[in-house]
Amino acid sequence: MTKDELIKKLNFNPSNDKEYNDAEFYLRVKGIAFHQKIMTHLGVDFDDDKSTIEWSKVSALLRYDKKLRDKIYIYIATLEEYIRAYLSNKYEDNPIQPFWQDGISPRSKVKSKIKDGECVSDVLQSIEFGDLLNQVKKMSTEDLCEMFDTTTDIHSNLDAVRELRNAVSHHAFLMDYKFRTCIVEGISNNSLNHNIKNLRQLLPNEYRYGKNRKGGITTDIDNCKYERTKDRPESKKQLMNLDFRDIVNMN
Phi and psi, residue 77, nearest 5°: -60, -35
pLDDT of residue 237: 84
pLDDT digits (tens, 9 = 90+) for 21-65: 999 999 999 999 999 999 999 999 999 999 999 999 999 999 999
DSSP 92: S
Q: What is the pLDDT of residue 53?
A: 97
Q: Which of 226, 220, 221 is nearest to 239 (CA)?
A: 226
Q: Of 111, 168, 114, which is closest to residue 138 (Cα–Cα)?
A: 111
Residue 161 domain flag: yes
Residues 6+ apart with CB under 8 A from 215: 209
Residue 128 lies in a domain: yes
Residue 9 is assigned to a structural domain of this protein: yes
Residue 47 domain-assigned? yes
Rounded distance between C-alpha atoms, residue 247 and residue 54, angstroms: 19
Banded model confidence at residue 235, pLDDT cuts 50, 70, 90: low
Distance of CA 170 to the CA centre of its chain: 10
Query: Which sign, positive or negative, has the C-alpha torsion 177, 182, 188, 192?
Result: negative
CA distances from 58 to 35, 36, 48, 197, 235 (A): 8, 10, 18, 26, 23
Mean pLDDT for 145-153 is 94
pLDDT digits (tens, 9 = 90+) for 164-214: 999 999 999 999 999 999 999 999 999 999 999 999 999 999 999 987 777
Burial 204-243 (b: 16+ CB within 10 A, else e): eeebbbeeeeeebbbebbeebbebeeeeeeeeeeeebebe
Q: 14 burial class (0-12, 13-18, 19+ CB within 10 angstroms)? A: exposed
Q: How far is CA 81 from CA 8, 102, 193, 199, 204, in A?
A: 46, 20, 23, 14, 11
Which three-class secondary structure state does DSSP give residue 204? coil
What does the pLDDT look like over 114-143, one tens digit per residue? 999 999 999 999 999 999 999 999 999 999
How many domains would you assign to the chain?
A: 1
Residue-wise pLDDT tens digits, 204-232: 999 999 877 778 999 999 999 999 776 66
Give the pLDDT score at 234.
60
Cβ atoms of 192 and 175 within 8 Å: the answer is yes
Decide if 251 is inside a domain: no
C-alpha closest to that of 68 among 220, 234, 243, 232: 220
Q: Which amino acid is at 177?
A: Y
SS3 of residue 116 by DSSP: coil
Residue 214: predicted pLDDT: 75
Domain encompassing residue 45: 3-246
Q: Does 187 map to a domain? A: yes
pLDDT of residue 79 exceeding 90, the answer is: yes
